Structure 1
Amino acid sequence: MTSQPTRRPTRRKRASHSLESVLSEAVGILDEAGGSGLTFRALAARLGGGVGSIYWYVSSRDELLDRAADFVMADVVAAIDTVGSDDPIDDIRTIAVTLFDAIVDRPWLGSYLMRDTSVQENSLRIYEKIGQQVMRLGLTPRQAFHATSAVVGFVIGTAADMGQELPEAVVSGDLSRDAYMARASQQWRSLDPQEYPFIHYIVDEFAVHQDVEQFRAGLDLILAGLRLQADAPATGRRDAGSR
């Protein structure tokens, strides 16, 4: 009786692409088709491999989305690395504007950014960088937490809102942005001024506003309040932080 040769266990062949290429192509799909367009099948086709190869790098679609969002943030981390002046409020503004610019042109990004900081190291570093500037103001831990979260939340929320896809008529070119705004403004002007006094009060500003200017104005309001809080007597800051 002859013995059978010992079979070596088969090993799963490792994918030929890298995590960087996976995330780069995922971001490309997200930029083109949004969150709904990113599937493992679409990504595998773009990479030129099988769906199974993607599982070498991420365990689920949620993780893929989180890592793709964080992949984009690497450029923000690099851009803010040297931020550091004599005025922490100015530094917070610089970081916030840099983060806003990275998000606003990507309608998909705001939904996934900082969703899971256990896999989003770059996002956590941005939060940390803003927090370090807040710490320089001498606030209590609670005040610093609230202030940093307020800045980050305002930036991400506003950028996501302003980055929403435009109406189809504007995207197709059938209607210019100016014409779209003029039509929306006219609709506001047609409202009953007794029922909508505020709308009538600001409609002329709404008609000509620029989204970036609107963002910067809101950010400056938050930072002005933060400066006032930092300039308050130390005893008042401690009392506020303990409530």
Structure 2
Amino acid sequence: MAQSGLARSRPAQARSRSGRSRPSQGRRRASHSMDAVLTEAVALLDEAGEAALTFRALADRLGGGAASIYWYVSNKDELLDRATDHVVGAVLADIEKHAATDDPIADLRAIATTLFDAIVQQPWLGTYFMRNTDLQVNALRLYEHIGQQTLRLQLTPKQRFHAVSAIVGVVIGSAVDLAQEPPPEVREGAVDREEYLHRWAQSWRELDPEAFPFVHEIIDEFDGHDDADQFRAALDLTLAGLRLQAGA
């Protein structure tokens, strides 16, 4: 888990005890709330990604000046971290609605699948998840929630750490890959996804089977495969290994 944000120096702008940036003398207090700021920030990120999230664009949606945003965050990095945590809070609440079962591996699968679905729906989320756990309290709580399931298994601390890292890695890596912008010909409607994959499969079929025996073995699986199924298979392989390691 990346924690580059933890090493950032404190912003030069003074901060109040509540954690908000203290405005310069004479600046009028913003009329909106932190929740409103984060809700609109998430909406901008959902619509057009990180490039669309500027203080000016955010202020326009809220009905105020860009300077008013500084009542709540010091800079864009902090805004991205807080917006990420805002969404992760909803994901965590959804996860916590479901009571634990007798099988911690099954519970890990349910948690991982819920997080995967959230990142696929909001692709920018995977980039900033767990980037700064000082600001992302909900992300840290979700990480803890995943880890607590491994406390129900007979594992060493190192095995637990590696297990949670592997699960989070499979989830974020698969979700971010699935959410990538499609190739230009698919995006522009020249071909659909199935036809695009079929073209690649056809080119692979022309390869020398002696030089590429594996590729020839899996061509039919690749042709028209479902990315979400691919994620679930990777997750199940990871969890099956964890079950064996724990002797469960």
Q: Same fold (TM over 0.5)?
A: yes
Shift of 1:172: 3.2
Separation (CA, whole Å) in 1 of partners of 2:206 and 2:121: 32
Whether the aligned pair in 1 keeps the contact of 2:154 and 2:247 (CA below 8 Å) is no
Alignment partner of 1:60 out of 65, 75, 97: 75
For 1:71-90, what per-residue CA distance to the aligned partner results, in whole angstroms no more than 9, with x for missing partners? 11122111111330101000
- Residue 20 in structure 1 maps to residue 45 in structure 2: no
Alignment partner of 1:35 out of 40, 50, 56: 50
Alignment partner of 2:192 out of 162, 176, 186: 176
Shift of 1:105: 2.2
**Corresponding residue for residue 90 of structure 2:** 75
Alignment partner of 1:50 out of 57, 60, 65: 65
Shift of 1:147: 0.7
Q: Secondary structure at the match of 1:119?
A: coil
Unpaired runs of at least 5, structure 1: 1-8, 233-243
For 1:30-64, what per-residue CA distance to the aligned partner results, in whole angstroms no more than 9, with x for missing partners? 11111122111221222221111111111111111
Q: Secondary structure at the match of 1:22?
A: helix
Q: 1:14 to 1:190 in 2, by over 3 A?
A: farther
- Residue 121 in structure 1 maps to residue 134 in structure 2: no
Greater mean deviation of Cα atoms: 151-160 or 184-193 = 184-193
Separation (CA, whole Å) in 2 of partners of 1:13 and 1:163: 41
Larger radius of gyration: 1
- Residue 185 in structure 1 maps to residue 201 in structure 2: yes
**Corresponding residue for residue 224 of structure 1:** 240
Separation (CA, whole Å) in 2 of partners of 1:146 and 1:180: 36
- Residue 206 in structure 1 maps to residue 222 in structure 2: yes
Question: Percentage identity across aligned positions?
Answer: 61
Shift of 1:11: 4.2
- Residue 110 in structure 1 maps to residue 130 in structure 2: no
Separation (CA, whole Å) in 2 of partners of 1:144 and 1:104: 26
Whether the aligned pair in 2 keeps the contact of 1:107 and 1:165 (CA below 8 Å) is no
TM-score by length of 1: 0.87
Q: 1:222 to 1:70 in 2, by over 3 A?
A: same
TM-score by length of 2: 0.85
Alignment partner of 1:159 out of 172, 175, 188: 175
